[in-house]
Amino acid sequence: MPPALAGERLDRAVSVLWHCSRGESAALVAAGAVRVNGAVGRGRAVRLREGDELAVAHEALAGRRAAGPQPESGVAVAVVHEDEHVVVVDKPAGLVVHPGAGRATGTLCSGLLARYPEMAGVGERSRPGIVHRLDAGTSGLLVAARSPRAYESLLGQLAERSVRRCYEAVCWGAVGDDRGVIDAPVGRSGRRRTHMAVTEQGRAARTFYEVRRRYLRPASVSHLCCRLETGRTHQIRVHLAAIGHPLVGDEAYGGGADGAGAALRLDRPALHAAALGFRHPRDGRAVEFESALPEDLSTLLAGLSQ
């Protein structure tokens, strides 16, 4: 049994580990289908201890209803850090974070569940352990909760805007100021519901940026470091597009290659979550993680010159 479930009720542990509802797990216990350290479970409310061994009769599981996203061992998860409360991963571009419309399998969430089954009982049932997300096309660092304590702590830090999230971005054109802040509300686009936009009806959003380098050849682009104060959907992509500097490769927000920029074709937005910092839920100490640019963005920058 995972250490994170020590002290939990038997029915909840069964629910978490075998991905079933609390009602189903209680029924399994009542039917005598659950064994603790080789003996039939003494009641659904019994508290477990670290090191206890749980088993559920195979035939009792047949035909039960699946609860939430199922684990998939084939989903690669690059782990940067793990402990009993949190796991920090380096997500590749193209991997969807959690199940949603049109995508039920093959997500980062599924891969995490396969590796850390106790996460099934943490947070929302449809996206266990997930406290923030990255767009499918964005690569880089993401933290997920392995315990209820971590989940509540990380959500609180995100709400109070104390989580440090820095991104490297490559956008079209020469950004004028060396540093600045884009302060503009972001909400659903009135024209395309799958897109976001700067709109008066949106939620407050602030993106700080600093120009690392400007390039002229083979096209005019800027390499930026962006820091999020808020974390709205598509925030950096929308904000940069709003000031006339969409991300290279971002077809959704006007960053597709054309004309002189054809040599800079990229099959995803040029955005990478490079740094992540937060207070550890266990003791409140500050922790920081960094991720190097992936090969596609490194190659893109290597082909540019002033």
Name the residue among 29, 33, 36, 41 with its Cα closest to residue 59.
33
Q: How far apart are CA 170 and CA 139, in angstroms?
A: 13
Sign of CA dihedral 104, 26, 152, 150: negative
Question: Any residues with CB less than 8 A from the CB of 99 and at least 6 apart, and which?
Answer: 69, 105, 107, 109, 110, 126, 127
- Segment holding 156, helix H or strand E: helix 148-159
259 residue type, one letter: G
Q: How far apart are CA 283 and CA 60, in angstroms?
A: 41
Please say whether the beta carbons of 113 and 120 come within 8 A: yes
Q: How far apart are CA 171 and CA 236, in angstroms?
A: 11
Q: How far apart are CA 169 and CA 235, in angstroms?
A: 13
Q: 262 — phi, psi (to 5°)?
A: -60, -25
Q: Which residues are catalytic?
A: 135
Q: How far apart are CA 170 and CA 212, in angstroms?
A: 10
Q: How far apart are CA 87 and CA 97, in angstroms?
A: 14
